[in-house]
């Protein structure tokens, strides 16, 4: 299995290095830029992130600026990206960096994992892209690519599957670790796409893909969905006086903590 995966390394690195780097956070390997962009890209499409990233960096160009920003301003800069805990964790991690690392990003995967809001994927991305540490960065795109290459029937939503794929990739990481990781991610984003027929003829590793050989690309990866999320029905009140509209601040804890909303109550079934 290791020997089979080793064959994809050079083609992916060469393919990625040949791609035009038009995204602002890909034009340098500054760890602060990589960090912020990776956090923004979680649960958000690339094109949507562009304007938020530009505005964020204009207002908070350094880790020190991020550590010192007020929560009100931070959440305003994040407004529209959703999952506001991501923004709060950015600030918490920036304060950690100021206090524990003399204001400079940690330079190793294990140290990066100690920061608030930074998990295995983000730590792997920063460590490999900025410092060329030979560690994987496994996101949904990477899981899909490797599952198809190996024609794996394991559920990619399970943590155990991610651990297995991470271990396999760790064994084959090249010196150009950042380019390899970004190549895998970009391959999954542009070519080995989900929920439709992938663009196999454009794929740089098509000759090594078992799913392509066995005509399984549209059936993989396996994803066994969890139960549907709970939906609440609420009655929203709009109180308007001349040009003013009443809003209220949410509780300090829970979903969308400290954000503003129109007054509302849970709708009861009668």
Residues 104-127: tens digit of each pLDDT = 999 999 999 999 999 999 999 999
Q: What is the CATH number of domain 3-10+136-213?
A: 1.10.1670.10
N- to C-terminal Cα distance for the chain?
Answer: 60
- Whether the predicted pLDDT of 165 surpasses 80: yes
| CATH architecture for segment(s) 19-131 | Orthogonal Bundle (1.10)
- Whether the predicted pLDDT of 186 surpasses 80: yes
Q: CB neighbours of 118 closer than 8 A, spacing ≥ 6? A: 35, 89, 93, 112, 126
Pick the closest to residue 163 from 121, 114, 116, 225 (CA basis).
Answer: 121
Q: Are 53 and 39 in contact (CB under 8 A)?
A: no
Question: Which of these is catalytic: 38, 133, 182, 186?
Answer: 38
When pLDDT is averaged across residues 142-147 and rounded to a whole number, the result is 97
User: Six-digit token pair at 98?
Assistant: 């100021």
CA distance 183 to 222: 22
Q: Could you tell me the pLDDT band of residue 1, with boundaries at 50, 70 and 90?
A: low
pLDDT at 27: 82
Catalytic residue at 38? yes
Higher pLDDT pick, 132 / 257: 132
Q: CB neighbours of 139 closer than 8 A, spacing ≥ 6? A: 121, 185, 188
> Residue ranges per domain, the chain?
3-10+136-213, 19-131, 234-266
CA distance 4 to 208: 8
């Amino acid at each position: 299995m290791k020997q089979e995966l080793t064959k994809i390394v050079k083609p992916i690195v060469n393919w990625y290095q040949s791609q035009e780097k038009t995204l602002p956070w890909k034009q340098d390997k500054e760890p602060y830029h990589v960090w912020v962009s990776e956090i923004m890209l979680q649960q958000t499409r690339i094109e949507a992130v562009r304007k938020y990233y530009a505005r964020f960096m204009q207002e908070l160009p350094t880790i020190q600026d991020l550590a010192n920003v007020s929560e009100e301003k931070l959440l305003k800069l994040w407004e529209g990206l959703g999952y506001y805990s991501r923004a709060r964790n950015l600030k918490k991690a920036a304060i950690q960096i100021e206090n524990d690392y003399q204001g400079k990003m940690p330079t190793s995967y294990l140290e990066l994992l100690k920061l608030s809001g930074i998990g295995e994927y983000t730590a792997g991305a920063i460590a490999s892209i900025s410092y060329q540490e030979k560690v994987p960065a496994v996101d949904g795109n990477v899981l899909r690519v490797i599952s198809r290459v190996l024609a794996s029937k394991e559920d990619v939503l399970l943590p155990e599957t991610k651990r297995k794929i991470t271990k396999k990739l760790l064994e084959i990481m090249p010196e150009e670790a950042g380019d390899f990781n970004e190549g895998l991610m970009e391959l999954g984003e542009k070519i080995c796409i989900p929920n439709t027929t992938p663009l196999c003829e454009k794929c740089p590793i098509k000759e090594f893909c078992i799913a392509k050989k066995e005509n399984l690309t549209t059936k993989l990866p396996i994803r066994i969905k969890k139960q549907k999320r709970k939906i609440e029905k609420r009655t929203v009140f709009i109180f308007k006086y001349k040009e003013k509209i009443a809003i209220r601040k949410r509780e300090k804890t829970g979903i969308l903590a400290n954000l503003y909303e129109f007054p509302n109550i849970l709708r009861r079934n009668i």
